[in-house]
Structure 1
Amino acid sequence: MRLVIRNARRLDVENMAFVEDGPVVSEDGKIVGIGEDAAADVEIDAKGSFLLPGFIDAHVHFRLATLDFARLQRWSEVEFGIVMARLARETLLRGFTTVRDLGGDVEGLMRAIRAGMAEGPRIIRAGRMLTQTGGHGDAESGPRPVPTCACEMRHTAFGIVADGPDAVRKAARHNLRDGSDFIKIHVSGGVASPADPLESVQYTAAEIMAACEEARHRQTYVAAHAYSPESIAMAVENGVHTIEHGNMIDAGAAAAVARHGAVMVPTLSTYEAMDLIGRQMGFPAANLAKNSKVLDAGLRSLEIARDAGVTLGWGTDLIGESQSRQRREFAIRAEVETPADILRSMYVVNPRLCGLDGKIGTLTPGAAADMILTTIDPLENIAALGEDDAIEHVIHRGAVVGGGA
């Protein structure tokens, strides 16, 4: 099918400016021409609206399909599938045509999208998260028997509990064999987990190096959930490529991230959402207290990282019911960043993290025909992209899928 979009102001990502250079033509899911007219199977008159590449969220969790974590423990795969498919469709309708899933089994969802049984974005996935016993990704509730050996591993649909370099290596190899595009580990405490303080350091240098070596052997990388300065520095010094969140980063840890050429992916909208929706859903006081700490530190972490020269990606980490707030991230980051810098995080950095540099995040011939039409000029008012009626059309793989959700 050939799609032709006329009279649009196209975002030139390289120069971060809008240009009016004629029709944008796509065929078979790819952009095939700019500025040259062509016969169309489907035609859109943009009437001067702004044409952007499809949005890219570099930190999502489709497996974490509800903020009611007790329900997550009880759901069958059928229940997961129904809710995950709905979340994926809503994500696409919000304009996110590519996402990077940071942990949990999403193989079935990806297969359903590829087969046309469900609508959703292109998914780049980590697969099951790797965590130590009692770490942020140790999601099993209730009493558990004492392991019979140090190498014993446990797993759920969310993660693998692996202690020691050999176990971490085996878990990483398992994920890579099963198709993970990269590896996700936890090196500090988290907000949603009940037993680990935010400041706790998780995994050792040897365990981190084992995961990173396996990733490197497969020409990919390791992403690490990390908040505290010590855990952030330990991660990048032992081979981790992306720091997810990083809210409690200090100048020394930021310098280490920059020195090692690593990337930080802030996810500020999730803490705001957790504060609002988590209270409504009965989040325990201890978890709300941890959330307040990272919420308060979020914007300052961006300033510290930016001043140190850290490369920043764009993510949200929203869970279940809060995923509807996905575009809110634009407005939060606009409090301390310029619109051009925010768009570079999404359209320049995120494609590299997805291994799709030049294929997504750009409106040039040969790239995927993933596009957004909006009446909002994001270089003037990027926060307005979060408004309910901000999106006129979403185009994914050359097909119009709807307006904003």
Structure 2
Amino acid sequence: MPRLLITDAVPLDPAAGAYGDACWIEVGDDGRIAGTGTGPAPTVPDGTPVLEAAGATVMPGLIDAHVHLLLTTLHQGEAASWTPGYATVRALAEAGRMLRRGFTTVRDVGGADRGMVRALEEGLMPGPRLVAGGMALSQTGGHGDIRPLGQDWRPCCQHQAGFARIADGPQEVRAAAREEFRKGAQHLKLLVSGGVASPHDEVSAVQYTDEEIRAAVVEADNHNRYVTVHAYHPRAVNRALRLGVRCVEHGNLLDQETIGLLLERGAFLVPTLITYEMLAEHGRAAGLPEASVRKVADVRQAGLSALERAHAAGVNLVYGSDLLGPMTAAQLGEFELRAQVQPNADVIRAATTTAARLLRMEGEIGTLSVGAHADLLVLDGDPLTDISVLTRPETRKHVVKAGALI
């Protein structure tokens, strides 16, 4: 029995950056698109939900390729008192809010685990399709080492709720990678430069050695997975690309050599501009340490220029937000920032077809093709000419995930 029939839809094809003729879309009982057509809609059994789009835009659901579901506060002291169970419930509640914003798939790049993936797959909580990478790997004193300076011991067994674990040397990196893949990680994230949110390192710091990065890349390849890296500046980004990583998160300070390497390797870049805007405006009040507040300016101004240059060169660009705590409410704001230097169609591709390629789910998500998951948005307006159609709640008539109206 069909799960849903949508009639009189104006389909937006992100790959073409164009609209098709008004059509019907039928969703099978497996939650995938079973058929589309421009003629009369098929007859469906009584009781099948029918959504009359009435000429509204129907497009694939959005994909955010850089989230941290577990980081629901910027107050590190507060989070330290949470049990893993409480942190997970908070995270799944945020996942539900992401789905209602129109994100039907998210890639978690530090923290979420297979248990959260399973809970969402089973419908125990509403939320997007979750592609989780387990814990990111950090060297001692790196971006993921947020221990107080007076603490000289590592957390026992690295089982605390958080976004990263510490691994030093090729052997430890290899073992940590194998452990994350054993637990179901779909990719591996390495922290190879300093960061904004980590109070004890510099953005320009280079982290991990060639041998450590190479060990992670080999393990990922052996497991049919890939490595993505947190990195801002060319010293870190370019070295990681030469060593075989497939994706770069942030990259605000990239140079022309970086762009050349991204193109040569067919790698992906996931800028996260909105997080720096929100951190600059609300970070201090939200509990970001003062040392981190001062670092925001180091990367904020360069981000848009880096995106513009990467776009002009034809780099594979993917949508990411990287918002933490209460700032996650601004998740859609990345669209309007990118539209300052990119055509709307290209920004939409970053959150649909290109993101699907990064996640190795091309043809499965980010498309209205027959056989794809029926993850859809029904919008009142034309996002190709007005990107705010995607960011204003009143234009979002319906969110559909796996053929179910949210």
Q: Same fold (TM over 0.5)?
A: yes
8 Å Cα contact 2:113-2:184 kept in structure 1 = no
1:235 and 1:155 mapped to 2: Cα distance?
A: 27
**What one-letter code is carried by the residue in structure 2 that aligns with 1:386?**
T
Equivalent in the alignment of 2:356: 351
Deviations 1:78-100 (A, max 9, x none): 32122112101101111101011
1:326 and 1:32 mapped to 2: Cα distance?
A: 31
Counterpart mapping for 1:5-404 below 5 A? 5-28=6-29, 29-35=31-37, 36-39=41-44, 41-145=48-152, 156-157=160-161, 158-401=163-406
Compute the RMSD of aligned alpha carbons: 1.7
Deviations 1:321-377 (A, max 9, x none): 111111111100000000111112122211112221101000011000100001121
2:274 and 2:369 mapped to 1: Cα distance?
A: 30
Residues 6-15 or 179-188, more deviating:
6-15
User: Aligned to 2:393, what secondary structure does the other structure show?
Assistant: coil
2:229 and 2:90 mapped to 1: Cα distance?
A: 27
User: Aligned to 1:322, what secondary structure does the other structure show?
Assistant: helix
**Deviation for aligned residue 1:186:** 0.5
**Percent identity between the aligned chains?**
41
Deviations 1:372-404 (A, max 9, x none): 001121110113421232311000010001xxx
2:85 and 2:182 mapped to 1: Cα distance?
A: 25
2:144 and 2:374 mapped to 1: Cα distance?
A: 36
2:336 and 2:237 mapped to 1: Cα distance?
A: 26
Relative to structure 1, the CA distance from residue 22 to residue 308 in structure 2 (aligned partners, 3 Å threshold; closer, same or farther) is closer
1:338 and 1:259 mapped to 2: Cα distance?
A: 24
8 Å Cα contact 2:379-2:389 kept in structure 1 = no
| Structure 1 unpaired stretches of 5+ | none
1:293 and 1:140 mapped to 2: Cα distance?
A: 23
User: Aligned to 1:64, what secondary structure does the other structure show?
Assistant: coil
**Deviation for aligned residue 1:154:** 5.0
8 Å Cα contact 2:374-2:402 kept in structure 1 = yes
1:146 and 1:55 mapped to 2: Cα distance?
A: 41
Residues 345-354 or 102-111, more deviating:
102-111
1:233 and 1:56 mapped to 2: Cα distance?
A: 26
| Structure 2 unpaired stretches of 5+ | none
Aligned length: 397
Residues 188-197 or 320-329, more deviating:
320-329
Deviations 1:193-217 (A, max 9, x none): 0011000000111111100000111
**Deviation for aligned residue 1:60:** 0.6
User: Aligned to 2:143, what secondary structure does the other structure show?
Assistant: coil
8 Å Cα contact 1:247-1:297 kept in structure 2 = yes
2:366 and 2:261 mapped to 1: Cα distance?
A: 28
Relative to structure 1, the CA distance from residue 284 to residue 2 in structure 2 (aligned partners, 3 Å threshold; closer, same or farther) is closer
1:264 and 1:229 mapped to 2: Cα distance?
A: 13
8 Å Cα contact 2:7-2:51 kept in structure 1 = yes
Residues 175-184 or 102-111, more deviating:
102-111
* Runs of 4+ deviating beyond 6 Å: none
Deviations 1:17-51 (A, max 9, x none): 11124211101201001015231600111111100
Residues 159-168 or 14-23, more deviating:
14-23
User: Aligned to 2:385, what secondary structure does the other structure show?
Assistant: helix
Superposition TM-score, scaled by structure 1 size: 0.94
Superposition TM-score, scaled by structure 2 size: 0.94
Deviations 1:291-324 (A, max 9, x none): 1221111100112222343211111111121111
**Deviation for aligned residue 1:62:** 0.3
